[in-house]
């Protein structure tokens, strides 16, 4: 089976090098583009087997391209090729059900293995992706499980930027009750008693909170 691939990266030298590496593995590069909007357009029209996308690109990010393609039911498989290994990016990739996530500083053979896996309907992630997922994301998910349904609702509202007065109005409870819930949440999440500790934690883990 000939595998057709679209590649998108806004750094010309990286894009050129990536295409050359993929050619060395005898892949059919149907297009190489330098922005997300062009990537989206070409994926829709050319329907490649695989699209390899950087995250940060002009016009549309790699994540935005994937979300739009998923909403339209396109069958292209997606691989993120990026320098980002921070928790927020990996969580976003996980929530979008992206099939592959490879770091740019890894050997090209890793990308080749990833392509081979995703065309078979399998997933393939960088070992660092799995490390962050296991050591940083999973423990936070476990903490959230200790919260009551009411506390989870309040944490979601805090993550969306609501203050206690707003939350009280939305849930038709008193501000005092909200503050009591906040205090219990802080204890269960093992946070400090600093004024903005819970709000800062909720913002940092917003994607995680809104996905569970």
- What CATH number does residue 177 fall under? 1.10.10.10
**175-188 helix and 164-171 helix, angle to the nearest 10 degrees:** 110
Q: What's the farthest any 2 CA atoms get from each other in the chain? A: 65
141 domain-assigned: no
User: Do residues 86 and 65 lie in contact, with contact meaning Cβ atoms separated by under 8 Å?
Assistant: no
Model confidence, pTM: 0.73
Are 88 and 167 within one domain? Answer: no
As a three-state string, the secondary structure of 172-188 is CCCHHHHHHHHHHHHHH
Cα–Cα distance, 54 to 64 (Å, whole number): 11
- Given this model, what pLDDT does residue 180 score? 93
Please report the beta strands in the chain, taking only residues with DSSP state E, as ranges in sequence order. Answer: 4-8, 28-33, 50-53, 77-82, 100-103, 124-125
Coil/strand/helix, residue 211: helix
- Given this model, what pLDDT does residue 212 score? 63
Cα–Cα distance, 124 to 165 (Å, whole number): 45
- Given this model, what pLDDT does residue 65 score? 95
Are 150 and 81 within one domain? Answer: no
Coil/strand/helix, residue 82: strand
What is the residue range of 174's domain? 146-211
Residue where one domain finishes, among candidates 133, 159, 186: 133
Are 22 and 70 within one domain? Answer: yes
Are 120 and 46 within one domain? Answer: yes
Are 19 and 71 within one domain? Answer: yes
Are 192 and 152 within one domain? Answer: yes
Are 29 and 101 within one domain? Answer: yes
59 domain-assigned: yes
Are 168 and 117 within one domain? Answer: no
Q: State the CATH number of the domain containing residue 77.
A: 3.40.50.2300
Are 123 and 155 within one domain? Answer: no
How many structural domains is the chain composed of?
Answer: 2
User: Do residues 89 and 66 lie in contact, with contact meaning Cβ atoms separated by under 8 Å?
Assistant: no
Q: Which two tokens stand for residue 66?
A: 């994937």
**175-188 helix and 149-159 helix, angle to the nearest 10 degrees:** 100
156 domain-assigned: yes
Are 105 and 174 within one domain? Answer: no
First to last CA, the chain: 39
49 domain-assigned: yes
Are 161 and 197 within one domain? Answer: yes
Mean pLDDT per 10-residue run, the chain (212 residues)? 87 86 84 88 93 92 94 92 83 85 89 93 86 77 84 91 91 92 90 84 81 66
- Given this model, what pLDDT does residue 135 score? 76
């Amino acid at each position: 089976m000939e595998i057709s691939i679209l590649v998108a990266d806004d750094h010309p030298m990286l894009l050129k090098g990536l295409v050359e590496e993929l050619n060395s593995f005898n892949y059919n590069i149907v297009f190489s583009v330098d922005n997300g909007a062009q990537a989206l357009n070409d994926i829709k029209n050319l329907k490649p087997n695989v699209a390899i996308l950087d995250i940060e690109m002009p016009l549309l990010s790699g994540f935005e391209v994937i979300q739009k393609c998923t909403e339209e039911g396109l069958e292209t498989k997606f691989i993120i090729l990026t320098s980002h290994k921070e928790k927020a990016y990996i969580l976003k990739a996980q929530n979008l059900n992206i099939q592959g996530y490879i770091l740019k500083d890894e050997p090209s053979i890793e990308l080749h293995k990833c392509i081979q896996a995703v065309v078979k309907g399998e997933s393939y992630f960088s070992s660092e992706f799995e490390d962050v997922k296991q050591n940083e994301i999973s423990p936070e998910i476990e903490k959230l499980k200790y919260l009551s349904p009411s506390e989870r609702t309040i944490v979601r509202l805090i993550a969306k930027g609501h203050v206690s007065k707003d939350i009280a109005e939305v849930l038709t409870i008193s501000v005092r009750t909200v503050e009591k819930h906040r205090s219990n949440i802080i204890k269960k999440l093992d946070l400090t008693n600093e004024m903005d500790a819970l709000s800062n934690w909720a913002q940092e883990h917003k994607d995680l909170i809104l996905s569970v």
